[in-house]
Amino acid sequence: MTEREIVIVGGGVTKFASDRVDANVRDLVVEAVRLAVADAGVTLTDVEQGLTSYESDHFNRQMTLGAILQDHIGMVPKPNLRVEGGGATGALALRTAYAYLKGGLCDSIVVYGGETNGKSVTSATAQQFFALSSDADWEMMVGGTYTAYYATMIREHMRRYGTTEAQFAHVSVKNRRNAGYNAMAQKPMDITVEDVLASRPIAEPYKLLDCSLLSDGAAAMILATKAWARAHSQHWGQRPAVHFVATGCGTDTMRLGDRPRPYPGLAHFRGKRNAARQAYAMAGIENPRRQLDVAELYDSYSGVELQAYEDLGFCEYGQGGPAAEEGLFDFGGDLVVNPSGGLLGRGAPVGATGIAQAVEIMLQLRGEAGGQRQVVGARRGLTDTHAGTGTHCVVNIFEQRDN
């Protein structure tokens, strides 16, 4: 048995939006799969297995939606599964696709995910829905919401390292600016740090412009063994190949109050650090900031991105704030973070997010991101997602290789 190399054959992402009144989650997923099939240059009937990614029955108003989507995209009667891991769902789906391919259960797989969070009636409704994914017995019951949990975490970061509100406001400015380079982004904005600081408080220190978006949208990706891609994709050999080289996963307690103290403490994402460690070992990465060229991080709140810089080893603990302020991870730096606009600028339909991140990395590694959005010479990229407050974390790594 020879080593099975896993490649991305193609991917597609719908426009993320809060006003997709024209489309429900089924329509959105069909749209994304069609884009992925066209990008891959394959016939969907050749693809052997489906994998559905969505977070919740609530958000999509349907139970066992995986079976329905499998039918809507035309993959019945072939095998399917649904994977869920809160905010990490899309990345976990790709990780699981890797396992199915590597383990030989199939040679090709289409991973498709969507969510209609934008259709929540109001943002207050959305907060309540998301609160259902905190601990319903011990957190939601006392009125907890996710913005408040994240606020608690960044407050501890501020206390410990002197991180400032202006520092994490820089993340919001950068990502919303980057969204302007991406035609599929939900809400590009040309704003300043002062605009962020002056926006309405949600759960202090987080203000409206520190918070990511509520979105409707879908994303899809076709992955396969290299041998399958060579045999079935018309585009194979005509552009750089993107390999799926590593994946890591870590978990943490749902309740913040249950986490070990003082180490690593509330300021950090333990699960993310563990996920990154596994993925780096698999990819042979010792110095992520040097060895990676581009990364899509899970910026559910602006401060979370600078916390991720640290947990992923892009900088030392406590240096996330200064790094954001100095724009170390902006275009022109060693490592460009969130060229797509991230959750803050591109949007965040939960089940699609992790897949959309990987599609962005795919485009970057192929040199097809276009214009100002393209990270010049990108050869290796990472995606980072998490559920809850880092309760379930997945890091995936992709590499451009010669055919």
Residue 63 found at the interface with a copy of itself (CB under 8 A): yes
Total of chain residues touching a copy of itself, rule CB under 8 A: 64
Residue closer to a copy of itself by CB (options 178, 251) is 251
| Distance separating alpha carbons of residues 203 and 194, to the nearest angstrom | 18
Footprint on residues 115-134 left by a copy of itself (CB under 8 A): 132-133
Q: Is 141 in the site for a copy of itself (CB under 8 A)?
A: no
Which residue stretches of 146-225 are H helix? 146-161, 165-178, 193-198
Q: Is residue 108 at the binding interface for a copy of itself, with CB under 8 A as the rule?
A: no
Candidates 11-19, 179-187, 320-328, 383-391: pick the segment binding a copy of itself (CB under 8 A). 383-391
Per the structure block, which two tokens stand in for 320? 């996330």
User: CB-wise, 53 or 172, nearer to a copy of itself?
Assistant: 53
Of the residues 27, 44, 58, 191, which one makes contact with a copy of itself according to CB under 8 A: 58
Cα 322 to its chain centre, rounded Å, is 24
Instruction: At 8, list the tokens.
Output: 């991305």
> What is the radius of gyration, based on Cα positions, of the chain?
19
Asked if residue 387 binds a copy of itself (CB under 8 A), the reply is yes
Residue closer to a copy of itself (CB basis): 202 or 387: 387
Nearer to a copy of itself, 105 or 183 (CB): 105
1 binds a copy of itself (CB under 8 A): yes
Q: Contacting a copy of itself (CB under 8 A), which of 11, 13, 16, 95?
A: 95
Site for a copy of itself, residues 275 to 304, rule: CB under 8 A: 275, 278
In the sheet that holds 108-116, the strands lie side by side as 49-53, 108-116, 216-225, 6-13, 241-251, 392-401, 380-387, 294-296, 336-337
Interface with a copy of itself in residues 232-251 (CB under 8 A):
247-251
Establish if 156 lies at the interface with a copy of itself (CB under 8 A).
Answer: no
From 9, 40, 101, 304, residue interacting with a copy of itself (rule: CB under 8 A): 101
The residue among 183, 265, 246, 238 whose CA lies nearest residue 39 is 238
Choose which of 55, 165, 216, 311 interacts with a copy of itself (CB under 8 A).
55
- Can you give the length of the chain in residues? 403
Relative orientation angle of helices 302-311 and 146-161, to the nearest 10 degrees: 60
Q: Kindly report the number of other CB atoms within 10 A of residue 321's CB atom.
A: 27
Residue 104 binds a copy of itself, judged by CB under 8 A = yes
Q: Closest separation between CB of residue 187 and a copy of itself, Å? A: 26
The answer to whether the beta carbons of residues 352 and 32 sit under 8 Å apart is yes
Distances from the Cα of 365 to the Cαs of 10, 183, 223, in angstroms?
12, 18, 15
DSSP characters for 305-362? Answer: HHHHHHHTTSS-TT-HHHHHHHTTTSTTSSSEE-TT-HHHHT---HHHHHHHHHHHHH
Least Å distance between CB 251 and a copy of itself? 5
Q: Which DSSP category does 309 fall into?
A: H
Residues at the interface with a copy of itself (CB under 8 A): 1-3, 49-50, 55-58, 61-64, 66-68, 70-71, 75-86, 92, 95-96, 98-105, 132-133, 135-137, 247-254, 258, 270-271, 274-275, 278, 387-388, 391-392
